[in-house]
A and B are shown apart, each in its own frame.
Chain A
Amino acid sequence: MNKHQSVYVNTIFLLLIFGFAAANVIRPQKERSETENRSLQKRPALTWDSLFAGEFADDYENYLSDQFILRDSWITLKTAAEKASLKQETDDVCFGKDGFLIEKHTGVFTSDTAVQNILRLQTFIGNICGQYGAEHVSCMIIPNAVDILRDKLPPYADVYDEELYLEKLRSVIPEDVWVDVSSVLRTWQDTGSQAPENVRAADGSSPDFTQLYYRTDHHWKTAAAYLAFQEWMKQKQTADVSKDEFIVTTVTDSFEGTISSRLGITGKADSIERFDRAVPFDYYLVYNQSEDIRNSFYRDSFLDTKDKYAYFYGGNFGLIETKMPDAQTGRRLLIIKDSYAHCFAPFTCGYYDEVDMVDPRYYNASISELMENKEYTDVLFLFNAAGFAEETALARLLV
């Protein structure tokens, strides 16, 4: 390299490091990332304490990465590089067939929390069976896409952890309490395709029932929730759902969920469906004990945002009570749940006087007190398998 060339090489290098450094200093900070759906670390304040505890260093490094200019584009570039190297997965997400992005949940089901949660659930279910009677208690652990959409995974990408974990859970829960959603969804994935006869689109046609999970989001689709609901009602002999008609409406077909956001890629967009009873019923919702009263499960405003799954109930809340003033069933249901219940719970509301949803992750008061104060006749525990396995808040069920 002669002098002339070296000057140019040095200039390129200095432009790169000084250019990005300056751009990052000048650019205004962002509070949160809409694509990643989380708040971002802002420039930390420097204090002696934070400096010597090493906190300042950690926060500052997170700040640099969170506030890095064009953050989303860098993430896109990384995923593109991974794909270009023919990797079948990145960041524990498989690039599946037909545009499915499937989270593998590696290590989630063998962690200490996962093992502890089996015991916690066993104890909790035992307790409430004593209180309500096993015939009034149900437990649904919803398998994740990786366990059901095996045919969508890259060839030879066998992932058995989740299946084994669900088997373990099943073995500690009484048979009439456990609702075997895995079998229902797996059988459907393998053989089913036609929508049940009592489910139709508004124009009378048969709605799509082939897709059980979103391609780009970690949730299950409403159709899958319907299948689980139907199985549950049958098992508990609460009602013969097949006699009731449901009308399916597609509320958006441009849903790109959390997984594609995390990887910074635009996947194949998904549709979101809502199921309405053909014979409507009256209800109203009370959020966090009268902080907010609403008269629909659905919030259209979220369809214009990135977080479209929050169309159901507006997202995560500690406690949502749904009251059906005209229903006279004598049944009141408590659902202890995570967000997988959001597209599921509206189905239940036509069959109870009241359906309350409590989310242990967000509900700060005592759940056992809630159960004492309100006279529930039935309890349903509904979590997705991976969320259940890594949820530390479940310890709160036992206090």
Chain B
Amino acid sequence: MIFSSLLFLFRFLPLVLLLYYACPAKLRNLVLLLVSLVFYAWGEPVYVILMIVSILISWTGGLAVDLFLRAGNDRAAKISLGIAVAAGLSLLGFFKYADFVLRTINQITRSDIPLLSLALPIGISFYTFQTISYIIDVYRGNASVQKNIISYGAYVTMFPQLIAGPIVQYKTIDRQLRRRHESSEEFAQGVMRFMTGLGKKVLLANNAGVLWDSIRVMDTGTLPVLTAWIGIAAFTFQIYFDFSGYSDMAIGLGHMFGFRFLENFDHPYLAKSATEFWRRWHISLGTWFREYVYIPLGGNRNGTAALIRNTMIVWLLTGFWHGANWNFMLWGVYYGILLLLEKLVFGNALRKLPSALQHVYCMFVVMVGWYLFSYNEITGGTGYLAAMFGGGGRVLDHGTVYQLYSNAVLLIILIIGSTHLPARIGAAVLERVKHSNFLSVVLRGGFMIMVFLLSVAYLVSASFNPFLYFRF
């Protein structure tokens, strides 16, 4: 189930809110666990069992690690940790990467091992990372063990963040799982955040997606440069509003149930370098890799060679995490190299450039990155990349002019929407009227009703409502 659907808005969410708030505080984690299982099982009736297995393994692992640590047996704790992490990674590896490995073996050895053709269990990359972070944090003493399987299950399955993150680390919501105060203010904050996310996803991302889809099917042999860039720009906006809109909805829903998830995006397209971009994009993933891979490997403390090695490992894994495809690896390596170059070679020179040029540089590398990212879908293969750099033999044609003026308003909204501006203006206006209950409510209510009505209109009539991060 996805949030931006009639099913979620008009069946699931109302029922869950009723159930949740009708139950006493003691039972609320149980309610969350049960409804989250239904949420997951709606689209994945079989794989819900896999998720339950994964929960049981990591929960038991956490208990064992804690037990051995208390007994002062660090070796046994380490072994327990290793087993639980390895089990989680094996499940992820098997269901996500088995066919990729087989295909690669087939290609290299020219053999013909039949593929398993397993459907990817939705959200497995996200929930596996959450369970791993939990066990490691218990071992490190950064999180306290959760003995209650219901509370732990509620943490892993919690439907707001289940299928597309943010990757919530257990330690950040441990206290809220044990005891939280739902309040009217927090609920309202969640409502506004959810509506913002819904609008970003349904009104902005989907419309950008329509533009991208219309361009990516064009014949790349004659695709003008400008059209190719409009296309990749549309994808750049689609993936941002899609994913950050989803995170907004997740964070908003979290608030409705009294949880505070950490932010996952911070205006990534305002960045001035690839390094900065990754501090602002999918923050929970970057944090995860830094805490559980990069720093344990030694980070940047052991000299340049180790820095290069560690960075490349992290970025290979980051790419691979996104999907069992070579293009994702390539995309990861691309960023690994860029980040190293910025750190070791031209970072200082870059910072001395006028800030507009730094933005141009950053958006250029990010958009080329998104081309690599979408590569497994582009039928033209390298043709599209060639078209971006003049392979189509033309700078623009009638079609380019048409795409530009027909989508001018959309593109302007997308550009402005990627900046601080809307949030700042919204905050400034609300600050001015905060003493007037009437105006505050009218402004918020007006925004909510407008986004709601338009989104429902698009959802009722549109067939086009993909969700990009569903695949990971």
Q: Cβ of B441 and Cβ of A158 under 8 Å apart?
A: no
Is residue B76 contacting chain A, with contact meaning CB distance below 8 A?
A: no
Would you list 24 pairs from A and B whose C-beta atoms are within 8 A, ordered by A residue? A1-B189, A1-B430, A8-B437, A8-B441, A10-B184, A10-B191, A13-B191, A13-B448, A16-B452, A17-B13, A21-B14, A54-B43, A57-B43, A61-B6, A64-B10, A65-B6, A71-B460, A74-B460, A77-B453, A85-B413, A86-B409, A155-B401, A156-B399, A158-B399
> Could you tell me which residues of chain A, from 347 to 372, have a CB within 8 Å of some CB in chain B?
none
Chain A interface: which size bin?
35 or more
Q: Cβ of B9 and Cβ of A17 under 8 Å apart?
A: yes
Chain B interface: which size bin?
35 or more
Q: Cβ of A9 and Cβ of B410 under 8 Å apart?
A: no
Query: Taking A8-B441, A17-B13 as contacts, is the C-beta distance between A107 and B7 under 8 angstroms?
Result: no
Q: Which of A20, A77, A81, A154 contacts B10 (CB 8 A)?
A: A20
Contact indicator per residue, chain A 58-81, by CB within 8 Å of chain B (1) or not (0): 001100110010010011011101
Is residue B457 contacting chain A, with contact meaning CB distance below 8 A?
A: yes
Q: Cβ of A9 and Cβ of B441 under 8 Å apart?
A: yes
In the complex formed, the residue of A with least CB distance to B444 is A9
Q: Least Cβ distance of A96 to chain B in Å?
A: 13
Which chain B positions have C-beta within 8 A of A155? 401-402
Which 10 interchain pairs have the tightest Cβ spacing? Answer: A6-B188, A77-B457, A88-B406, A74-B460, A156-B402, A78-B457, A9-B188, A75-B461, A21-B10, A8-B441
Q: Cβ of B454 and Cβ of A77 under 8 Å apart?
A: yes
Is residue B407 contacting chain A, with contact meaning CB distance below 8 A?
A: yes
Is residue B42 contacting chain A, with contact meaning CB distance below 8 A?
A: yes
Q: Cβ of A5 and Cβ of B402 under 8 Å apart?
A: no
Query: Taking A9-B441, A52-B46 as contacts, is the C-beta distance between A156 and B401 under 8 angstroms?
Result: yes
Which chain B positions have C-beta within 8 A of A79? 461
Contact indicator per residue, chain B 1-35, by CB within 8 Å of chain A (1) or not (0): 00001110111011001000000000000000000
Q: Cβ of A17 and Cβ of B46 under 8 Å apart?
A: no
Which chain B positions have C-beta within 8 A of A86? 405-406, 408-409
Query: Taking A4-B437, A51-B45 as contacts, is the C-beta distance between A74 and B217 under 8 angstroms?
Result: no
> Could you tell me which residues of chain A, from 274 to 308, have a CB within 8 Å of some CB in chain B?
none
Q: Cβ of B456 and Cβ of A156 under 8 Å apart?
A: no
In the complex formed, the residue of B with least CB distance to A75 is B461
Query: Taking A7-B184, A54-B43 as contacts, is the C-beta distance between A158 and B461 under 8 angstroms?
Result: no
Is residue A264 contacting chain B, with contact meaning CB distance below 8 A?
A: yes
**What is the bound-complex CA distance between A55 and B408, given in angstroms?**
40
Residues of B within 8 A of A (CB): 5-7, 9-11, 13-14, 17, 42-43, 45-46, 184-185, 187-189, 191-192, 195, 214, 217, 397-399, 401-402, 405-410, 413, 430, 434, 437, 440-441, 444-445, 448-449, 452-454, 456-462
Number of A-B contacts (CB under 8 A): 140
Q: Least Cβ distance of A310 to chain B in Å?
A: 25
Q: Cβ of B409 and Cβ of A85 under 8 Å apart?
A: yes
**What is the bound-complex CA distance between A375 and B346, given in angstroms?**
83
Q: Cβ of B10 and Cβ of A74 under 8 Å apart?
A: no
Residues of A within 8 A of B (CB): 1-10, 12-14, 16-18, 20-21, 24, 51-52, 54, 57, 60-61, 64-65, 68, 71, 74-75, 77-79, 81, 85-89, 106-107, 110, 154-158, 264
Which chain A positions have C-beta within 8 A of B460? 65, 68, 71, 74-75, 78
Q: Cβ of A54 and Cβ of B45 under 8 Å apart?
A: yes
Q: Cβ of A68 and Cβ of B457 under 8 Å apart?
A: no
**What is the bound-complex CA distance between A88 and B408, given in angstroms?**
10
Question: Apart from A9-B191, A64-B6, what are 20 other A-B pairs with CB-CB below 8 Å?
Answer: A1-B185, A1-B189, A1-B444, A2-B185, A6-B187, A8-B441, A8-B445, A20-B10, A51-B45, A52-B46, A54-B43, A65-B459, A68-B6, A68-B460, A74-B461, A78-B457, A81-B457, A85-B413, A107-B217, A157-B402
**What is the bound-complex CA distance between A378 and B399, given in angstroms?**
43
Which chain A positions have C-beta within 8 A of B449? 12, 16
Which chain A positions have C-beta within 8 A of B457? 74-75, 77-78, 81
**What is the bound-complex CA distance between A75 and B460, given in angstroms?**
7
Which chain B positions have C-beta within 8 A of A8? 437, 441, 445
**What is the bound-complex CA distance between A18 and B6, given in angstroms?**
12
Which chain A positions have C-beta within 8 A of B46? 52
Q: Least Cβ distance of A76 to chain B in Å?
A: 8
**What is the bound-complex CA distance between A106 and B185, given in angstroms?**
48
In the complex formed, the residue of A with least CB distance to B191 is A13
In the complex formed, the residue of A with least CB distance to B18 is A18
Query: Taking A54-B45, A68-B6 as contacts, is the C-beta distance between A17 and B14 under 8 angstroms?
Result: yes
In the complex formed, the residue of A with least CB distance to B452 is A16
Which chain A positions have C-beta within 8 A of B217? 106-107, 110
